[in-house]
Amino acid sequence: MEEIRMAEKPVIGVLLGDAAGVGPELVAKCAAADFYRAFCRPVVIGDLRVLKRALEVIGASDKVKIQGIDKVDDADWSQGLPVLDQKNLDPADVPFATKTVQSGKACLDMLKLGVELWQAGKIGGYVFGPLNKAGMHEAGLDLESEHHYLARLLNHTEPFGEINVTNGLYTTRTTSHIPISQVSADLKENDGQRIKRAIRLSYKTLTSAGIENPRIGVAALNPHCGENGDCGREEIDVIAPAIKDAQENGINASGPFPSDIVFHKALVKKEFDGVVTMYHDQGQIALKLIGFEGGITVAGGFEIPIVTCGHGTAYDIAGKGIVTTASFENAVKQCSQMAVVAAK
């Protein structure tokens, strides 16, 4: 993705994420490399002391000029990196590679503040460093994930969920973190309603990224697309009807295709902008093979652009200053582009 050329690049929130993980180091490294300038006007959200610790870890304390602000309107990018200091998390209470309730609470507060700032028209979207869901649950999160938390904050009732993006290919899961033994039953539930929602979610996310009339390939569940029912009937009974429903609603969806074929069509022949998969690893294996270091996750379905890197807190290397930033950089690029599209 090339540098965004416009009179005023979008204001993007940059959330530090779990203070015990590599999130603050990712934010600090991008700041030290002056990466943000080409794509957005960043506003870091989190505790300034946590960011300063990360800058010390990467040896860049004297390379990044910090501008502490109390509100986004005070940001002046000519005066340094604006940091909306939350003053709510002492690094002394959050050792590296340690799950804490304090950091979990700070992460929930960051996500909430980011939504509020977007609703107030102060930012165009936000990226966030990796989170520790266990810490967030201990801090009071009573939902499955940050995506469900965001949906609650936004009063969002339409389809939403993780969209994985690597090398420009968007994949949407119909089912996600469930046993393989449960996939078929979930697909059949309510006459394939999950499949219909996944296709709609894929379409909305692709259009939000500026792709007009996106081409969506839908994967089969069974080997050889079910062999006309000899190897499973899900393709006949629920997947094909869901695709037809999408087509009747103006969505350029096609399939079902055997999962090995659909990714050949998408990645080699460039026939699709997005692929809808039936279960978690069906898409993840393909994406990890083509770009393990650079994958990102888009919070699909929401009006607000929200993107994060495709990896976790990486506690094994947290505090060592060796984390690579390719994935987080791609998240910043994606969020900035989506904010530009949303502003049109």
Distance CA 64, CA 75 (A): 15
CB 342 within 8 A of CB 125: yes
Domain check: are 146 and 97 in the same one? yes
Residue at which a domain ends, from 263, 289, 315: 289
Domain check: are 204 and 180 in the same one? yes
pLDDT of residue 240: 98
Distance CA 218, CA 171 (A): 10
pLDDT of residue 260: 87
Residues in contact with 194: Cβ distance below 8 Å, sequence separation at least 6, in sequence order: 174, 175, 186, 187
pLDDT of residue 177: 85
Asked if residue 295 belongs to a domain, the reply is no
Asked if residue 297 belongs to a domain, the reply is no
Asked whether the predicted pLDDT for residue 55 surpasses 80, the reply is: yes
Closest alpha carbon to 42 in 98, 99, 136, 114: 114
Domain check: are 19 and 138 in the same one? yes
Asked if residue 190 belongs to a domain, the reply is yes
Asked if residue 269 belongs to a domain, the reply is yes
Domain check: are 137 and 212 in the same one? no
Domain check: are 145 and 75 in the same one? yes
CATH of the domain at 83: 3.40.718.10
Give the DSSP per-residue string, 208-274: HTT-SS--EEEE-SSGGGGTTBBTBSHIIIIIHHHHHHHHHTT--EEEEE-HHHHHHHHHTS---SE
In the block, tokens 């080997």 appear at: 223
Domain check: are 264 and 312 in the same one? no
Q: What is the pTM of this model?
A: 0.94
Residues in contact with 185: Cβ distance below 8 Å, sequence separation at least 6, in sequence order: none
- Domain span holding position 88: 11-156+302-343
Task: Check residue 42 and report its DSSP letter.
Answer: E
Alpha helices in the chain (DSSP H): 23-32, 48-57, 101-119, 133-138, 146-153, 180-188, 193-208, 234, 240-248, 259-267, 280-291, 326-343
Phi and psi at residue 259, in whole multiples of 5°? -65, -30
pLDDT in tens, 183-221: 999 999 999 999 999 999 999 999 999 999 999 999 999
Structural domains of the chain, count:
2
Domain check: are 21 and 137 in the same one? yes
**R_g (Cα) of the chain, nearest Å:** 21
Domain check: are 40 and 141 in the same one? yes
Residue 70's Cβ-count burial label (10 Å; 0-12, 13-18, 19+) is exposed
pLDDT in tens, 96-127: 999 999 999 999 999 999 999 999 999 999 99
Domain check: are 175 and 124 in the same one? no
Share of the chain above pLDDT 70, in %: 98
Asked if residue 262 belongs to a domain, the reply is yes
